Structures are given as C-alpha cells and as structure tokens.
C-alpha cells in the first residue's frame, strides 16, 4: 500500500475519514479540454497483500460517495454496507476493496464545485464535459500511484457497472474479473430522455443562475423535481404498489403530499437536494447519456470484445432505468467477444435499486464470482 497517499486527508465535502489522491499533472479528457489538477477521494477496507494481487475496485453509482462501508474513522453505514465485510460478497478477509468518489462528483473528487485554480472560483458550468471513460482513466491514475498493476476485480452497479465495463475494455490487461450489475453496454433513448428531463428541471430553477449559484441559494426546487422523476425509474410499480398501495394521509384530499407514495417520493427528493451538487448531477448524468462501450473503437462489438476478463453480468427483470434486455445484450456481446461470461437474471420487485438491497440474490452471485478459482 502506498502509505504516502493516506497522509493527505480530504477536505471539502468528502466523507469523514476519506483520503485523497492528488495529481498535479494535466488530465486530458475524451471530448477535449483538460483539468490542471486531479483529485479523487477514496476509502479502503481489508488488507492489501504484499503482492498487491487481491484488489477490488468498487465503482459508485451517480450520487454515491466513496463511503461504501463504515470505517474506524467513520462509523456511519455506507451505501453498500451489507455487501462488504468479513464473509460477505466483497470479503474483506480475502480482498482489499478500494472505492472512489467519481470524477465530476461533489464528495471530495474534482468536479464542478471544485475550485478552478486559474480563477480561484468553483468551475461551475465551465467544468469540461466528462465521460465514463474519463472517470476510469482517473481511477487508473490512482491505481498507478498505489502501485497496483492488476485488479482482482472491477465491480459496479448502474453507472458503476458502466465504469466496470469501460475499465475492462480500456485496460484489459489490468482486470482479472469484471462485475456489472443493472447497467448497460451503451445508453439507449429511454434512459437518455429520462435524464434529459431531470436536467431540464434543474436548469429551470430560477436559482440555477446558469450554473453560477455557489454564492447564492442552490437550485433546490429543481433538484427536488429531478430526483422525484429519477426515483420513479429506480424503483418499480409492483414494489410501490406492495409498499404503499393507495394509502393516504388522514383528512380531505390536497394537491400536496396526500398519498403515502407521494410522501416517500418527497422524502427522497428532499434528502438528495440538500446533499448533492446540482452541477455534478448535470455533468454525471450527461456522462451516462454519452456512454457507449464502442467509443474509441470501430463498433460496440469491438469495444465489448476488448473485455477479456472473467465477467459476471446481473440484470433485474423489473428494472425500468436499464431494462433487463440491455444486460442480456451486454452479456451476449462480451461472450461473443471471447471472454468467459456468466449472466444472472434476478426476478425481484425492487427494480433498478435491487443492487442496494438484495444481499442474497445479488450479493450471492457476486461472492461466488469473485472467489471462484
């Protein structure tokens, strides 16, 4: 382990106990432009073997920080708390797990809310367009600094699943196993349209100020609406029906939060709006729209064929954001490209967010894939 990296704690909005990798070398981006400095917030769990051959890189979804699991410095539950630890899907008795806040994020990594050292002010809308391939290139810089030449596995769900596939295609010699859950090999019109509508809601907020809102009120109303729309793609109709039915608040009907399901949507929207940077939301969701595993190669098929790691793809039948046929397609393309590929389909009512909940149906296959000889 490169101990020097851990001597530099994160600042800003990074989770308590997170550490930062900083690079002063210019970081070029896929669609042009560059960042003069790069910072990634990261956290680790487990012990790194002297050979550095037991590393799992865990990629986050759109809105998650590096805090995937509690640590000695931060006992708050992480976003994948039940999946990480001794004997769990990502077994910390066996593996050294590394999770970063994604490039473009707002929890310690370089993003639109970070200071542009050329101006001394936040980048805001002057932040360059980034892609999923840029995100994994940044992670490769971190791995280089840690002296990690090859990963035991690259693991991710949703946007994290896109990153997992992108890293395995970009640097096939550096990944032994790949896990992609509830993701896709390229974004299709239905999810692109959903994210576009969410971005329009944010930009329509009068406090958005064309992205220059850091000295004033944040565009909270726009973020609430955007997250409410997003939540409808993260869960499923059957689950919402089972959890809430037509239950209502007591009293006469009103135009506000009347039904129990509306209160749930409102709670999720409020929590997200208060904790996440609006510009990061715009930039990262746009990166998801732009994702195509064939970018930089002659075709989608060639991009998928570059993946030579032992690959596990998991889909959920009730996923609205990335319908299950997209995971089937990804698995087929990777298998046709020559990589050993396992496809698992989960028939659960929780929809896209199943990867946050189902420790047996999703965690089980992940554990078996990571530990098989």
**Does residue 266 share a domain with residue 205?**
yes
118 with 75, same domain: the answer is: yes
Catalytic residue IDs: 158, 319, 352
- Per-residue pLDDT tens digits for 215-267: 999 999 999 999 999 999 999 989 999 999 999 988 889 898 899 999 999 99
Of 258, 286, 314, which marks where a domain is finished? 286
Q: Residue 42 is part of a domain; what is its CATH number?
A: 3.40.50.1820
**Residue 324 shares a structural domain with residue 364:** yes
Residues 337 and 223 in one domain: no
Q: Which helix (H) or strand (E) holds 346?
A: strand 341-346
pLDDT in tens, 313-349: 999 999 999 999 999 999 999 999 999 999 999 999 9
Mean pLDDT of all residues in the chain?
95
pLDDT value, residue 59: 98
Share of the chain above pLDDT 70, in %: 97
| Residue in 176, 142, 152 with CA at minimum distance from that of residue 42 | 142
Last residue of a domain, one of 271, 286, 301: 286
Same domain, 144 and 67: yes
Q: What separation in angstroms does the CA of 350 have from each of 58, 77, 211, 242?
A: 22, 21, 34, 10
CATH code for the domain in which residue 257 is found = 1.10.1740.110
* pLDDT tens string 42-75: 999 999 999 999 999 999 999 999 999 999 999 9
Q: Is residue 254 domain-shared with residue 329, that is, in the same domain?
A: no
pLDDT in the model for residue 1 = 38
Residue 225's pLDDT is what? 98
pLDDT in tens, 30-45: 999 999 999 999 999 9
Distance, CA of 74 to CA of 102 (rounded, Å) = 19
d(CA 229, CA 207): 19
Question: Is there a single domain that holds both residue 24 and residue 169?
Answer: yes
Residue 251 domain boundaries: 194-286
247 and 336 part of one domain:
no
**Statement: residue 23 has pLDDT above 60:** yes
Closest CA to 179 of 372, 370, 308, 371: 370
Together in a domain, 208 and 167: no
Domain count, the chain: 2
Q: Are 366 and 296 in the same domain?
A: yes
- 2 confidence band (pLDDT: 50, 70, 90): very low
Residues 218 and 280 in one domain: yes
Among 286, 310, 339, give the residue marking a domain's end. Answer: 286
The predicted structure's pLDDT at residue 12: 66
Q: Which two tokens stand for residue 49?
A: 């073997």
> Do 224 and 300 have their domain in common?
no
Angle at 295 between CA 289 and CA 301, to 5 degrees: 110
DSSP state letter for 304: H
Q: 73 Cβ partners below 8 Å, 6+ apart?
A: 16, 17
């Amino acid at each position: 382990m490169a101990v020097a990296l851990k001597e530099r704690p994160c600042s800003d909005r990074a989770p308590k106990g997170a550490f930062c990798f900083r690079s002063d070398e210019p970081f070029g981006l896929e669609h042009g432009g560059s960042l003069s400095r790069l910072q990634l917030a990261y956290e680790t769990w487990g012990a790194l073997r002297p050979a550095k051959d037991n590393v799992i890189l865990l990629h986050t979804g759109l809105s998650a920080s590096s805090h995937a699991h509690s640590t000695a410095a931060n006992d708050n539950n992480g976003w994948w708390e039940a999946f990480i630890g001794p004997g769990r899907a990502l077994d910390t008795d066996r593996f050294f797990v590394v999770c970063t806040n994604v490039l473009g994020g707002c929890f310690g990594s370089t993003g639109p809310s970070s200071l542009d050292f050329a101006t001394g002010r936040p980048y805001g809308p002057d932040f360059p367009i980034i892609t999923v391939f840029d995100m994994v290139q940044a992670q490769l810089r971190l791995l280089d600094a840690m002296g990690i030449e090859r990963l035991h596995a690259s693991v991710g769900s949703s946007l994290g699943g896109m990153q997992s596939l992108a890293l395995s295609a970009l640097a096939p010699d550096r990944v032994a196993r790949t896990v992609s859950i509830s993701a896709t090999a390229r974004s299709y019109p239905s999810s692109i349209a959903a994210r576009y509508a969410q971005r329009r809601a944010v930009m329509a907020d009068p406090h958005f100020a064309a992205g220059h809102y850091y000295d004033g009120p944040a565009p909270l109303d726009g973020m609430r609406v955007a997250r409410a729309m997003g939540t409808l793609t993260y869960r499923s109709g059957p689950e919402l029906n089972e959890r809430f039915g037509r239950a209502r608040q007591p009293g006469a009907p009103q135009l506000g939060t009347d039904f129990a399901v509306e209160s749930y949507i409102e709670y999720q929207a409020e929590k997200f709006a208060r904790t996440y940077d609006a510009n990061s939301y715009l930039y990262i969701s746009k990166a998801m729209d732009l994702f195509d595993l064939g970018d930089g190669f002659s075709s989608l098929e060639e991009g998928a064929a570059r993946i030579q790691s032992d690959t596990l793809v998991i889909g959920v039948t009730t996923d609205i954001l990335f319908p299950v046929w997209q995971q089937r397609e990804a698995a087929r393309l990777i298998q046709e490209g020559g990589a050993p590929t396992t496809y698992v389909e989960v028939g659960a009512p929780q929809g896209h967010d199943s990867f946050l909940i189902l420790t047996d149906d999703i965690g089980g296959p992940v554990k078996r894939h990571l530990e098989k000889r």
